Amino acid sequence: MNQLEYLKLLKLARTALEEYKNWDEEELVIDNSMMQNNTEQKKVEPNVEKINKEEINNLEKQEEAIDTITKNVQTKNAEQKLEDLKKQIIGCKKCDLGKYRLNAVFGSGDAYADIMFIGEGPGFQEDHKGQPFIGKAGDLLTKIIIAMGFTRETVYIANIVKCHPMKNPQEPELKSNDRPPTIEEMQVCQPYLDEQIKIIKPKVIVTLGASSTRALLKTDEVISSLRGKFTTYLAIPLMPTYHPAALLRNPKLKKDVWIDMQKVMALVKKKG
């Protein structure tokens, strides 16, 4: 190798070394850049999490607000529907009972009750107060409801007829003037009860006594053979049982009523 060839070889080697050096530095730059990006990503990630948490919190708050609004609207709907129906009943004169009553007795309780108790019609005291099931029979019904784990405010109580059937309609102030409603009176008034049931949509209906049970089930059977067995009305389970007034006359029947109510409680629990 002469001196010229040696210098050419040395130049090539130097160029290769420079290229290698540049390539290495470039790679180093890329690596640093990647590391920097990774670091930046790591720095950014907590912010993303923070934003996500804030968004989730906001969404949860929005969902809660929507739930509250929906519940209020639903509550207003059922309560408003019952109020609208009540106005119709207060002005109703579809049968003669409307001519002599002191007060129409619409019903009382929770518009979204799980259980709806249905009696035959208002008596003397209910007519005077405009409330269903008051007096001694009403007090006993209240005790039964409480024993079941509810209150009068958390169930719904109504009657087949909304006006007081009287033996002598000219004497609304006369005690012991009560009588059961006739089949015709119940037939005329029953659409109001049906509407109440459709609005409230209870999980279980409990009919109290022979009149209300027979009216809804369209049967002539005696209450002693109907009670304790579930049937349905408007596609809702219905449990017939004795009227609280019957329990006052014959306390031995309380045991049967409690057996019936335990079945009702079990079904309500099962339906959630």
Contact between 189 and ligand SF4 by CB under 6 A: the answer reads yes
Contact between 215 and ligand SF4 by CB under 6 A: the answer reads no
Helices (H), 91-181: 97-100, 124-129, 135-147
Three-class DSSP category at 35? helix
Closer of 172 and 228 to ligand SF4 (Cβ): 172
First-to-last C-alpha distance (Å) of the chain: 101
H or E element at residue 239: strand 236-241
Contact between 203 and ligand SF4 by CB under 6 A: the answer reads no
Three-class DSSP category at 269? helix
Q: Would you give the binding string for ligand SF4 spanning residues 68-97, x where CB under 6 A is met?
A: ---------------------x--xxxx-x
Q: Round to whole Å and give the CA distance between 170 and 189.
A: 21
Contact between 104 and ligand SF4 by CB under 6 A: the answer reads yes
Q: Round to whole Å and give the CA distance between 258 and 264.
A: 10
Contact between 263 and ligand SF4 by CB under 6 A: the answer reads no
Return the residue of 137, 140, 163, 261 that touches ligand SF4, per CB under 6 A. Answer: 163
Contact between 167 and ligand SF4 by CB under 6 A: the answer reads no
* Interface positions, 132-161, toward ligand SF4 (CB under 6 A): 161
Stretch that binds ligand SF4, among 167-175, 185-193, 198-206, 260-268 (CB under 6 A): 185-193
Number of residues that bind ligand SF4 (CB under 6 A): 14
Nearest position to ligand SF4, beta carbon:
98
H or E element at residue 48: helix 3-90
Contact between 162 and ligand SF4 by CB under 6 A: the answer reads yes
Which strands sit side by side in the sheet containing 236-241, from one edge to the other?
108-109, 156-159, 115-119, 204-208, 236-241, 231-233
Do residues 94 and 188 make contact, with C-beta atoms less than 8 angstroms apart? yes
Q: Which residues bind ligand SF4 (CB under 6 A)?
A: 89, 92-95, 97-98, 104, 161-163, 185, 188-189
